[in-house]
A and B are shown apart, each in its own frame.
Chain A
């Protein structure tokens, strides 16, 4: 079969390329692993499946790497397509599912290994971070399969799991996500890997992860702040303030930095600049350059219809002279918010920088519980510019620019990394902390 009927539109090809590149940049994929699939209705009105070719470089897809398959017949594309095509086809047949993506999600895979005799039924993965908890609905199933690549067992297990869950893991292999769009699937996979990364970091610093999970099970509300806004689809190109070309550029730059530097997973976090009666708002702050995300202009006045996240931005502007606000889910900060010092049973109220630049710029980073009062949070932001909310991400404020506010969560990440590295080397963190910072 030939002709335009069997060629994806340029726009769809671009979306595949962008999602593929994002998977690579976020380091949840190696050069050739994983696959991306979606349902697509072509010009002829016929529904098809688009899927990446086997062995293609997901970070650098050619148009010819995207295969078109009929949903109803076996055709030539089938033989070039991913060896996991049958799995994706079944996932895409699930109700309300428009896309399916598989990635190796290394951090999640690391923390879901077990050394029990096989076959076995591994325990599900329980996230301890707020994004994982809310977006992955509390758990990710984990299955062991004898042949963990394109096998019949996988073709049955994975779609069955995804009928009830957003993401599922094949032990030692990787994760599969279902979603409405490939961008949403990327969002879910990045969050799943982020959840794995937080657990991995906690294990690294010797924290009692199972103890933490038990506490979460007992009283989840006490461990997490409000959920992130619902993921929206097909709105990434929206820009409601086209006349502010310099600001648009700044939003795109800041968003790309958040994503590329892993300050917050793909399309999570929020970023805003305030005007007099309105604010410019990026509800998916972590934006790869090619994919972008919506840039909204919203009134500063509170509106009953505002989601919690938007309401927080508005409340912060009402409370101070801030010009910019950022909220990011920094994995290292999520980790240290629970255990600042190895062996600690009670969480600390601060993270203290031990590196030179951090200890001058951010000598003390307050850590507050998830239910912190807004007044307390904004008071701390006035004095410290950046605050870690345990189970609720990192908030930062700036008085001038987006770049300024971006620097805060970015620095927090580095400060936390230094602390963790010092622990790994067996150094005494308390000796490295400037004494004065413990007393403030």
Chain B
């Protein structure tokens, strides 16, 4: 390995073995940085090199890698994000989750590009990182505290306000399969259950403090990309206005206009306009908004700081509002907001939580679950009054909460009705009905983490707000390439440490200039594309080794068997369409009919160091 340190990187990886209580730093291999950039790419590579794909996700063999990127720490718009990669306890496939806030920035300023966490501590611990030292400290006194309490406690004891905390809440401690990691109290690495992995390792928190600045080596090139990015962010209404004015909740009415807004566990897409209006982004702004906020260096500012009665907190965002709300037939904005606060405090992914509750409500409606199972709780669709209580029971695994904490797929299977779980690979489906876009449907099917609009391709960004890039929603011919390209731009955003929402305004071009200027390396857009292809192939290889097959790349039968009305036409995703989209996607990726990349392809993607 060369000892050369690429500008833009801190040049060090922190290795922590919790079982053996070993902490050490090693240099970042420049070749890894060149081939995998940072964030998702770098974390995936470090993870795949370190983990046995057959490991128990909640066992000590699981590994978690958290990485930043060369743009984190610079003034590029939204360049504040970190990425975690792990084997998911919810899905059994790769877990890959991205988050804004400030933690990743400060972690990089402390001198590291990534942290690799292995093993399991005997008793609860936390990791304390400063530029001079890294320590494993006991965390018994933190165990049991919620996210806000943990954060406050860790910032109280002399570390000062400039330190940052990433931690789990009670949900992670109780191994809720969709527990989140939280930073800045309310910013979540939410999907796929990273909080449960920490809980299984007895890791409560990582506190970081650092002030090292990252410098740009070719300011002119960097600035040209930055100017372009800023111009385009101001030129597109979504990034110029919508996100700041209304947060992502502003999408509620818009997604309803394109008939994509789910209702009653995706049983239909029919919403009474007056009820919807009362729970929309506009209603949120007029009734609950205290102020908007932003992750570090983000000009978009989609955060919602809200108040309900005497309680304050963050949210809800679009996904939360729809999945805990409309998809449960709940249009009570205040109730959803309070449940959202509760999820943040207890460290729970609101999306999987909402998907699981909707699944439970349908099981209840069909009388597959009865009040006996729920200790008298009425899980009827539309019952807003149970939301907060259910979230609490999930976090502490009490009563029915213990079953809900397993996620929708396990819950539905337990009651012998797996068809009621709206999941792909075990991950609950986001708040966009796939019957309203073949492209989005294929994105859910082929997302490496299971149904995720962020890892699977954010097709909605082009279905409605695409401007010149708007694609047909029902094109069999175009969907596979459109979604692959969207997945790839998502990989790049995650690997550069920038927010998905910049994709409303531009794709790789400004980033190419900025990252080239930041590092002095020539990251042309073509090279970035090849990098994305490489990362996608590596994620696929891990999933195959973890047991994924062609049959996992599909949708729940509901989306083939039951139609909804989209644009005045009955629409579903028929089985032959699923078949064709999947086969075409495999062919596009260069995979065989079972979805396996061959050796030649892996060699082309420079993945030959992998297990056979």
Say if the beta carbon of A161 comes within 8 Å of chain B.
Answer: no
- Taking a contact as CB atoms under 8 Å apart, the answer to whether B485 and A247 are in contact is no
C-alpha spacing A357/B231, complex, angstroms: 8
Q: In the complex, what residue of chain A is closest to B522 when comparing beta carbons?
A: A383
C-alpha spacing A274/B477, complex, angstroms: 8
- Taking a contact as CB atoms under 8 Å apart, the answer to whether A383 and B525 are in contact is yes
Q: Which residues of A contact B588 (CB under 8 A)?
A: 276
Q: Which of B466, B467, B475 contacts A247 (CB 8 A)?
A: B475
Closest Cβ of chain A to B442, distance in Å, is 12
Q: Which residues of A contact B467 (CB under 8 A)?
A: 403
Say if the beta carbon of B330 comes within 8 Å of chain A.
Answer: no
Say if the beta carbon of A136 comes within 8 Å of chain B.
Answer: no
- Taking a contact as CB atoms under 8 Å apart, the answer to whether B524 and A383 are in contact is yes
C-alpha spacing A404/B480, complex, angstroms: 17
Q: Which residues of B contact A246 (CB under 8 A)?
A: 472-475
- Taking a contact as CB atoms under 8 Å apart, the answer to whether B228 and A360 are in contact is yes
Closest Cβ of chain B to A278, distance in Å, is 8
In A357-397, the 8 Å CB interface with B consists of 357, 360-361, 363, 379, 382-383, 385
Q: Which residues of B contact A437 (CB under 8 A)?
A: 224
Say if the beta carbon of B476 comes within 8 Å of chain A.
Answer: yes
C-alpha spacing A25/B507, complex, angstroms: 35
Closest Cβ of chain A to B467, distance in Å, is 8
Closest Cβ of chain B to A392, distance in Å, is 21
- Taking a contact as CB atoms under 8 Å apart, the answer to whether B468 and A247 are in contact is no
Say if the beta carbon of A280 comes within 8 Å of chain B.
Answer: yes
Give the number of chain B interface residues (Cβ < 8 Å): 42
- Taking a contact as CB atoms under 8 Å apart, the answer to whether B471 and A401 are in contact is yes
Q: Which residues of A contact B507 (CB under 8 A)?
A: 399
Say if the beta carbon of A66 comes within 8 Å of chain B.
Answer: no
C-alpha spacing A275/B486, complex, angstroms: 15
Which B residues contact A (CB, under 8 angstroms)? 220-221, 223-224, 227-228, 231-232, 235, 462, 466-478, 480-482, 484-486, 488-489, 507, 509, 512, 524-526, 529, 533, 584, 587-588
Counting chain B CB atoms within 10 Å of each CB, which of A276, A320, A403, A440 scores highest?
Answer: A276
17 additional contacts, CB 8 Å, given A247-B478, A401-B468, A403-B467? A244-B478, A246-B473, A247-B477, A276-B477, A321-B481, A321-B485, A321-B529, A361-B228, A379-B524, A382-B525, A382-B526, A383-B524, A400-B486, A404-B468, A436-B221, A436-B224, A437-B224
- Taking a contact as CB atoms under 8 Å apart, the answer to whether A400 and B475 are in contact is no
Q: A275-B584, A276-B584, A360-B227 are in contact. Are A400 and B476 (CB under 8 A)?
A: no
Q: A244-B477, A276-B588 are in contact. Are A407 and B468 (CB under 8 A)?
A: yes
Q: Which residues of A contact B480 (CB under 8 A)?
A: 275-276
9 residue pairs A–B, Cβ–Cβ below 8 Å:
A243-B476, A246-B472, A246-B473, A320-B526, A357-B235, A360-B227, A360-B228, A379-B526, A399-B489
Q: Which of A278, A321, A436 contacts B488 (CB 8 A)?
A: A321
C-alpha spacing A246/B463, complex, angstroms: 12
C-alpha spacing A399/B584, complex, angstroms: 17
Say if the beta carbon of A273 comes within 8 Å of chain B.
Answer: yes
- Taking a contact as CB atoms under 8 Å apart, the answer to whether B526 and A403 are in contact is no
C-alpha spacing A320/B227, complex, angstroms: 27
Say if the beta carbon of A250 comes within 8 Å of chain B.
Answer: yes
Say if the beta carbon of A4 comes within 8 Å of chain B.
Answer: no
> Chain A 113-130, CB within 8 Å of chain B: the 1/0 string?
000000000000000000
Closest Cβ of chain B to A288, distance in Å, is 22
C-alpha spacing A103/B481, complex, angstroms: 44
- Taking a contact as CB atoms under 8 Å apart, the answer to whether A401 and B466 are in contact is yes
- Taking a contact as CB atoms under 8 Å apart, the answer to whether B220 and A244 are in contact is no
Q: Which residues of A contact B474 (CB under 8 A)?
A: 246
Closest Cβ of chain A to B489, distance in Å, is 8
Q: Which residues of B contact A363 (CB under 8 A)?
A: 224, 228
C-alpha spacing A250/B228, complex, angstroms: 28
Closest Cβ of chain B to A261, distance in Å, is 14
Say if the beta carbon of A79 comes within 8 Å of chain B.
Answer: no
Q: Which of A320, A382, A401 contacts B470 (CB 8 A)?
A: A401
Q: Which residues of B contact A320 (CB under 8 A)?
A: 526, 529
C-alpha spacing A321/B481, complex, angstroms: 8
- Taking a contact as CB atoms under 8 Å apart, the answer to whether B482 and A382 are in contact is no
Counting chain A CB atoms within 10 Å of each CB, which of B476, B477, B484 scores highest?
Answer: B477
Q: Which of A276, A360, A382 contacts B529 (CB 8 A)?
A: A382
In A425-440, the 8 Å CB interface with B consists of 436-437, 439-440
Q: Which residues of B contact A74 (CB under 8 A)?
A: none
Counting chain B CB atoms within 10 Å of each CB, which of A400, A439, A440 scores highest?
Answer: A400
- Taking a contact as CB atoms under 8 Å apart, the answer to whether A276 and B485 are in contact is no
C-alpha spacing A69/B228, complex, angstroms: 62
Counting chain A CB atoms within 10 Å of each CB, which of B228, B478, B524 scores highest?
Answer: B478
C-alpha spacing A126/B227, complex, angstroms: 44
Q: In the complex, what residue of chain A is closest to B512 when comparing beta carbons?
A: A383
- Taking a contact as CB atoms under 8 Å apart, the answer to whether A280 and B477 are in contact is yes
- Taking a contact as CB atoms under 8 Å apart, the answer to whether A400 and B469 are in contact is yes
- Taking a contact as CB atoms under 8 Å apart, the answer to whether A382 and B584 are in contact is no
In A338-366, the 8 Å CB interface with B consists of 356-357, 360-361, 363
Q: Which residues of B contact A321 (CB under 8 A)?
A: 481, 484-485, 488, 529, 533
- Taking a contact as CB atoms under 8 Å apart, the answer to whether A401 and B469 are in contact is yes
Closest Cβ of chain B to A313, distance in Å, is 14
Q: In the complex, what residue of chain B is closest to A319 when comparing beta carbons?
A: B526
Q: Which residues of A contact B462 (CB under 8 A)?
A: 400-401
Q: In the complex, what residue of chain A is closest to B588 when comparing beta carbons?
A: A276
C-alpha spacing A256/B478, complex, angstroms: 21
C-alpha spacing A403/B474, complex, angstroms: 16
Closest Cβ of chain B to A376, distance in Å, is 12
Give 8 closest A-B pairs by Cβ, nearest first: A246-B472, A382-B526, A275-B477, A360-B231, A276-B584, A400-B469, A399-B485, A404-B469
- Taking a contact as CB atoms under 8 Å apart, the answer to whether B220 and A436 are in contact is yes
Say if the beta carbon of A241 comes within 8 Å of chain B.
Answer: yes
Closest Cβ of chain B to A218, distance in Å, is 37
C-alpha spacing A250/B482, complex, angstroms: 15
Say if the beta carbon of A171 comes within 8 Å of chain B.
Answer: no
- Taking a contact as CB atoms under 8 Å apart, the answer to whether A273 and B477 are in contact is yes
Q: Which residues of B contact A278 (CB under 8 A)?
A: 477
- Taking a contact as CB atoms under 8 Å apart, the answer to whether B524 and A382 are in contact is yes
C-alpha spacing A403/B235, complex, angstroms: 17
Q: Which residues of B contact A406 (CB under 8 A)?
A: 468
Say if the beta carbon of A2 comes within 8 Å of chain B.
Answer: no
Say if the beta carbon of A264 comes within 8 Å of chain B.
Answer: no
Closest Cβ of chain B to A77, distance in Å, is 47
Q: Which of A323, A379, A385, A439 contacts B478 (CB 8 A)?
A: A323
C-alpha spacing A439/B221, complex, angstroms: 10
Q: Which residues of A contact B477 (CB under 8 A)?
A: 241, 244, 247, 273, 275-276, 278, 280
In A276-314, the 8 Å CB interface with B consists of 276-278, 280
Closest Cβ of chain A to B565, distance in Å, is 17
C-alpha spacing A439/B218, complex, angstroms: 13
C-alpha spacing A274/B524, complex, angstroms: 23
Q: In the complex, what residue of chain B is closest to A297 when comparing beta carbons?
A: B477
Closest Cβ of chain A to B138, distance in Å, is 50
Q: Which residues of B contact A404 (CB under 8 A)?
A: 468-469
Q: A320-B529, A383-B524, A383-B526 are in contact. Are A275 and B481 (CB under 8 A)?
A: yes
- Taking a contact as CB atoms under 8 Å apart, the answer to whether B482 and A323 are in contact is yes
C-alpha spacing A424/B311, complex, angstroms: 65
Q: Which residues of B contact A241 (CB under 8 A)?
A: 477
Closest Cβ of chain B to A384, distance in Å, is 9
Closest Cβ of chain A to B493, distance in Å, is 14
Closest Cβ of chain A to B510, distance in Å, is 9
- Taking a contact as CB atoms under 8 Å apart, the answer to whether A274 and B481 are in contact is yes
C-alpha spacing A246/B566, complex, angstroms: 14
Q: Which residues of B contact A399 (CB under 8 A)?
A: 469, 485, 489, 507
C-alpha spacing A246/B588, complex, angstroms: 22
C-alpha spacing A274/B533, complex, angstroms: 18
C-alpha spacing A238/B75, complex, angstroms: 52
C-alpha spacing A323/B462, complex, angstroms: 14
Q: Which residues of B contact A357 (CB under 8 A)?
A: 235
Q: Which of A243, A323, A400, A440 contacts B466 (CB 8 A)?
A: A400
